[in-house]
Amino acid sequence: GAAELGPYRHYMQKEIFEQPRVIGDTLEGVTGIMPELFGDGAFAVFKKIDRVLILACGTSYYAGLTAKYWIESVAKVPVSVEIASEYRYRDSVPHPDTLVVTITQSGETADTLAALKHARSLGMEHTLTICNVSTSAMVRECKLAYITRAGVEVGVASTKAFTTQLAALFLLTLTLAQVNGRLTDAEEAEHLKQMRHLPVALAAVLALEPQIIAWADDFARKENALFLGRGIHYPIALEGALKLKEISYIHAEAYPAGELKHGPLALVTEEMPVVTIAPNDALLEKLKSNMQEVRARGGQLYVFADVDSRITSGDGLHVIRLPEHYGLLSPILHVAALQLLAYHTALARGTDVDKPRNLAKSVTVE
């Protein structure tokens, strides 16, 4: 009811603004890296496995794609990420030393549960879930679990469940890295420090809301949008496009920016807003040349940069600068900005933000 919403107009907006708190809650009690945070016997399992298979649907799948970048770069463990509804029906090559990780807000998604059972039927017994509901079927079915503490998520379009999943997956990354002897004490301390800083950093990103509202007023008049990211921000571009589609009904597609020239550039005209996630990382210079390709065709660029990106607004180039440089955790901060963009665009279009047409919060049938 209205009382629960407080100053917010929709649950989605309230849930976006709850993120600093619920990420703090999800990481509460993490005083250091301790495998047993993932359940009894986790250390032995993490020692034994030599690869990771992530299974999920929807937004949770994009959390998995993000985690692949983290786990492979920090823990040096190979990761594959599969859409649950595809994995369960295809012939794949199982390996017993796989850590099967399901990611699910509800813990009840039929395809994800079926994919888990399929993996087990192929002889993969090391199972872990990152789940928001401790009493769910998924938590009962998996040997290990990390419970995110997003609290009840009402908005059909997932927001706080996603960022708490990412926080838990970052912790999993550090844990696998430590078990594999990939972290010095100094690196571990630095990562943990960055992780603990997330709530404060996220609150500062959410404070950019007025600037994002100004962009949303432009977006509300469009019927198409392109989202670009590179590397670890490609999954975040996918999630940003999904959010916009789900609640504003604007057709949005995400591309890794290097693929632009292999097709989507044909779509770019003055009518096509191109949202670009452009933090200062190793790929920024490449991304700038992708942005130039868009500008040369008259495309309007809407760039989320960070404090170090050295990109300034100009003709057809709109920049919102996130206040810090976030390193590995950058996806969590950038996605919050994209959530606000989708929310305010939908608001301007007058759609039913919390209950978008044709969609369900939890899909418990195939």
Q: What is the DSSP letter of 159?
A: S
Q: Is 276 in the site for ligand G6P (CB under 6 A)?
A: no
Q: Does 159 bind ligand G6P (CB under 6 A)?
A: no
For residue 164, give Cα distances in angstroms to 59, 264, 307, 336: 12, 32, 24, 12
Q: How far apart are CA 33 and CA 31, in angstroms?
A: 7
Q: So which residues are the catalytic ones?
A: 361
Query: Mask of contacts with ligand G6P, 112-141, x by CB under 6 A?
Result: x-----------------------------
Using the rule CB under 6 A, is 363 a contact of ligand G6P? yes
What burial class does residue 34 get, using C-beta atoms within 10 Å of its C-beta: 0-12 exposed, 13-18 middle, 19+ buried?
Answer: middle
Report if residue 356 touches ligand G6P, rule: CB under 6 A.
no
Which residues within the stretch 177-206 sit at the binding site for ligand G6P (CB under 6 A)?
A: none
The reply to whether 148 sits near ligand G6P by the rule CB under 6 A is: no
Find the binder of ligand G6P among 35, 58, 64, 264 (CB under 6 A). Answer: 58
Quote the crossing angle between the two packed helices 185-196 and 160-179, to the nearest 10°. 170
Query: Which region among 2-10, 55-63, 139-147, 292-300 touches ligand G6P (by CB under 6 A)?
Result: 55-63
Residue nearest to ligand G6P (CB): 58
Distance in Å, CB of 219 to ligand G6P, minimum: 21
Report the b/e string of 267-286 with b at 16+ CB within 10 A. ebeeebbbbbbbbbbebbee
Q: Pick the closest to residue 256 from 228, 276, 284 (CA basis).
A: 228
Q: Is the Cβ of residue 238 or residue 322 nearer to ligand G6P in the bound state? A: 238
Question: Which of residues 12, 27, 57, 346 is near ligand G6P by CB under 6 A?
Answer: 57
15 or 281: CB nearest ligand G6P:
15
Radius of gyration of the chain (CA): 20
Whole-angstrom distance, CA of residue 296 vs CA of residue 243: 28
Q: Which residues bind ligand G6P (CB under 6 A)?
A: 57-60, 104-106, 109, 112, 156, 158, 359, 361-363
